[in-house]
Amino acid sequence: MYGRIKRTVLSEIFALTFCLWLKGGSGPGLGTPFSYSVPGQANELVLIEWGNNPMELLVNDKAVTLPIVMTDGKWHHLCVTWSTHDGHWEVFQGGIKKGTGEDLSAWHPIKPGGVFILGQEQDTLGGRFDTTQSFVGEMSDLQLWSRVLTANEIHSQASCGGHLAGDVISWTEAVVELHGGVTKYPFDPCH
């Protein structure tokens, strides 16, 4: 079961922010909320929490641990920023910065022309899923920008003070193609 985003990256990205609402299911680890794979690199951009491991962000198959926990079965707003400049990254939960670091695939731009999959980690472009890394839970409102959002912009998203649509991916019903019995239903975290 997975969702495929009917959009791709059109040109190299040198900085990004992605935000989404997540609610974990039962059991250890959320699995893989999303993965972006390009020809020659299955783990170009991945958010994963499998088994009893902490949540990780992968860029160009290099990983950092994100100091966040979402095992309470409640909805959480999560944002991650990253820049090729020094490989600087930040993670926000509920609009509050929880961690930051550097040297995550510094000077590596995110490559265009790949495949975005929701709910599975890709071992090859668009496929070879591992059931132990499947996402278990619910997600909504995935947005991806080709810039680093400010802390104020992120806090505004998380607290429903405003809504910015991603310039690379903007969540709509039409943009997600469902496979394998994924269920969709209306969800608005701000009401």
Band of residue 107 on the pLDDT scale cut at 50, 70, 90: very high
Contact 15, 88 (CB under 8 A): no
Note if the pTM is more than 0.95: no
- Rounded to whole angstroms, the Cα distance separating 89 from 73 reads 26
Contact 142, 56 (CB under 8 A): no
What is the CATH number that goes with domain 2-179? Answer: 2.60.120.200
Across the range 9-22, mean pLDDT stands at: 94
Sorted by where each begins, the domain ranges of the chain are 2-179
Report residue 7 as tokens: 């959009």
Give the residue with greater pLDDT, 87 vs 179. Answer: 87
Q: Closest Cα to residue 146, out of 79, 82, 100, 85?
A: 82
